[in-house]
Structures are given as structure tokens and as C-alpha cells.
Amino acid sequence: MVGGVYCDFHAQQEQSARNMLGAILKQLVIRGGIPEQIREAFQKAKNEFGGRSPPLPDMVDILKRTITSLPRVFICIDALDECPQQHRRDLLGSLREIVAVSPNIRVFLTARPNIDHEIVRYFIQVVRIPLSPTHADIKSYLKMRLDMDPDPDAMDAKLLTDIMRIIPEKISER
Amino acid sequence: MEQTSSGWPQAIGRIGTRNITDSFNTIVNIAPEIDEQHQIRQWLSPLEPQYRHQGVRTDRLNGVGQWVLETSDFRRWSDAEGDCVEPVLFCYGNPGVGKTYIR
């Protein structure tokens, strides 16, 4: 099963660690229906806490138990750098807790390079891959954009050749 | 439960006997068991990342970024089992390099 969230500068307030983990949990239980333990926790919250959403430690606990019941789980979090630092710390701390007890989990994170040191602080073993588009990637993208050109006859062959040669050279580092 | 392409269980579209349209113009199904599921999902989190995911999937260009999935680092992370597991993969890069759009 795969669960993921996209962090967004424009949604910082609602993207708390709790809400993000809750969104991941929702995706993990989509296929098998809502597990009994979540249903019970929901009823309890409804009866005793006025329906308040589960606090972060409870959410982490529910996630751990849900993940244990699944064969293999991938958690993807895009653009961690767009998440405010406090939420990011809570999220990374929670993920560390979950990873420690879940051998069947893989966590996929993306971010700008400037938060590398934070991630390394939370996880002992991190596989790190630097990303930059390849020549072939840039060319595919350019071709797609050129195919969308509403007035292709306005471009002569030389300009087309130059675009396909020069832009990939200038952009690609690989 | 089957999943629709939007990430929602198909059952939500099928079972409905009584749909109402709320003030945001989204259709809310009020069949009791579906209603409880909906409430539980809301209770778990107000975030709905599947909509963004749908957009990314639509805009993604086939083959772009494929090389990442073929690196030995990626394979080590995704395929490892037993004691040599490295559970966390971190892909980093400056804005616009395509981090969001890796398949």
C-alpha cells in the first residue's frame, strides 16, 4: 500500500504532522475498509471528546498498528522543505518512531537540499539521491511543449534544431 | 474495495441511494454506513492529497525521471529485505528539477 502527502507553502497551517499522518492513514485503509480499531477510536472520540481528531501520539499509534497489519507500506512525502519547521520536526520524529517498529515500511522523501542535515539527524540510514533532469528528460519535455505550439509553421527548422540542442545543454547537469 | 482513478472507493459512487449537494457543490452521500466512513475519514484528517496526486499524474510525462528508478541506490532502497534494509530514501534537488514528478 502507498500513502503520501504533498507539502505546500500555501497550506502550512492545516498541514500539521497530525493531519499529514492522518491523510496517509486514510490512504492505507482505503482498500480493506476502515479497520475496527480505528472505528472504535472514532466512536470513543465522538462519545468522550466531542469528536475531536486524534492527537499526534494516538495517530502515530494507530498508524503503527495499521502498518503492522499490511504486507508492505510505502510512505511518500513531497517537498518537506515547504512544511514549517515545527511541523516538520513532529513529522520526522513520528516517522522515526514508526520506522523503528515497522520492518515492512519504506519512506520516500523529497525536498530542497537545504534540509538534508535535518533528515540525517532523524534517521541513521538514509539513501540519498541528488536529482537533476537528464538530457533525455529535457528533450522529452521540450518536444511535448513544441508539439503543443498552436502555430508550428512560424518556426523554421534551424530554430527548432537550436532549441533542441541548446536548451538541454544549458539546463542539464547530467 | 476497488479504487477509482481518483483514489476514492468505487462503492461510494455506487451504493448511494440519496445524494445531497453541499454548499461547496460536492456530492455528499448520506447512506448511513457510507456516512460513517466519510465521518471517520474527515476525523482522521481534513487533508485530501489524492486531488493533487491526480493532477501530478495527469501532467507527468512518460519516461521523464525514469533513470532514478533504475539507479542502484533506488533499487537498494525499494528491494532490500532482512537486515540490510535502509528504510528511508531522500531525493533532493533545487526547485524545478522534477522532484514531485518522479513516478
Q: Which of B46, B88, B91 sits opposite A125 (nearest CB)?
A: B88
Answer whether A69's CB lies under 8 Å from A35's CB. Answer: yes
- What's the grid cell of residue B42? 474527515
Q: Which single residue is written with the C-alpha cell 468522550? A: A48
Mean pLDDT of B88-102: 84
**Do residues A99 and A107 touch, judged by C-beta distance below 8 A?**
yes
Whether residue A53 lies within 8 A of chain B, CB to CB, comes out as yes
- Domain annotation for chain A: domains and CATH numbers: 2-122 (3.30.370.10), 135-171 (no CATH)
pLDDT in tens, B37-57: 889 999 999 999 988 888 888
Of B8, B45, B97, the CB nearest to A22: B45
Q: How far apart are CA A51 and CA B42, in angstroms?
A: 11
Q: Splitting chain A (174 residues) into consecutive groups of 10 residues, what average pLDDT does each group show?
A: 90 91 93 87 88 92 94 94 95 96 94 93 91 84 86 86 87 66
Q: What is the DSSP letter of A113?
A: G
**CA neighbours closer than 13 Å in the CB half-sphere of residue A156:** 1
- How far apart are the C-alpha atoms of A38 and A61, rounded to whole Å? 11
Tell me what pLDDT residue B19 has. Answer: 58
Contact B45, A5 (CB under 8 A): no
The answer to whether A53 and B42 are in contact (CB under 8 A) is: no
Model pLDDT for residues A30-47, shown as the tens digit of each residue: 877 888 999 999 999 988
The span from the CA of B6 to the CA of B27, in Å, is 15
Mean pLDDT score, B1-29 = 50
Residues 89-128 of A with CB under 8 A from B: 95, 99, 103, 105-113, 116, 119, 123, 125-128
Q: Which residue is closest to B52 within chain A, CA to CA?
A: A6
pTM: 0.79
Tell me, what's the pLDDT at B9? 43
Radius of gyration of chain A (CA): 22
C-alpha span between A70 and A28 (Å, rounded)? 9
Which residues on A lie below 8 Å from B40 (Cβ)?
Answer: 34, 38-39, 42
Residue A154 CA, chain-centre distance (Å), reads: 41
CA atoms within 13 A on the CB side of B74: 14
Q: Count Cα neighbours of B3 within 13 Å in the Cβ-side half-sphere.
A: 14
pLDDT at residue B4, rounded to an integer: 44
| Chain A residues whose beta carbon lies within 8 Å of the beta carbon of residue B93 | 110, 112-113, 130-132
Q: Chain A residues with CB inside 8 Å of B44's CB? A: 22-23, 25-26, 38, 53-54, 59
The residue with cell 540519498 is A128
Cell (9 digits) for A132? 537533476
- Band (B18; pLDDT cuts 50, 70, 90): low
The whole-angstrom distance between B20's CA and the closest CA on chain A is 23
3-state secondary structure of A5: strand
